[in-house]
Amino acid sequence: MGVLVLLEVVKGFDPDETDPSFVRSVHAAASDPDVPEDPLPATLCGISTDPLVHSHYRAGYGEPWYPAELEDRRCRECERALKRM
């Protein structure tokens, strides 16, 4: 199972920009087994993935599951769920 990093963003977010000030929180979701780039319907903390934006972030070995510049906005519930996996 893959894990995708999804962003909860404020209105006015431009996906072509990398301005972290538009990001409210960072969530994790399991990837759909049939379409690995698509998330399952809910994040690991249980919220709907429909309004979230796929970050396309890929963690390297030893790196956190979330983009480092968004550490203060990571979802602690998603993080706990990831640790249990």
Domain boundaries along the sequence of the chain = 3-84
- Encoding tokens for residue 6? 């999804």
Token match 């968004």: residue?
70
List, in order, residues 6 or more apart from 71 with CB less than 8 Å away: 64
For residue 31, the model assigns a pLDDT of 95
For residue 66, the model assigns a pLDDT of 95
Q: What phi-psi label fits residue 84: left (phi over 0), alpha (psi between -120 and 50 degrees) or beta?
A: alpha
For residue 49, the model assigns a pLDDT of 98
Query: pTM for the complete prediction?
Result: 0.89
Q: Give 6-52 pLDDT, tens digit per residue.
A: 999 987 776 666 677 889 999 999 999 999 999 999 999 999 999 99
Q: At residue 60, does pLDDT exceed 90? A: no
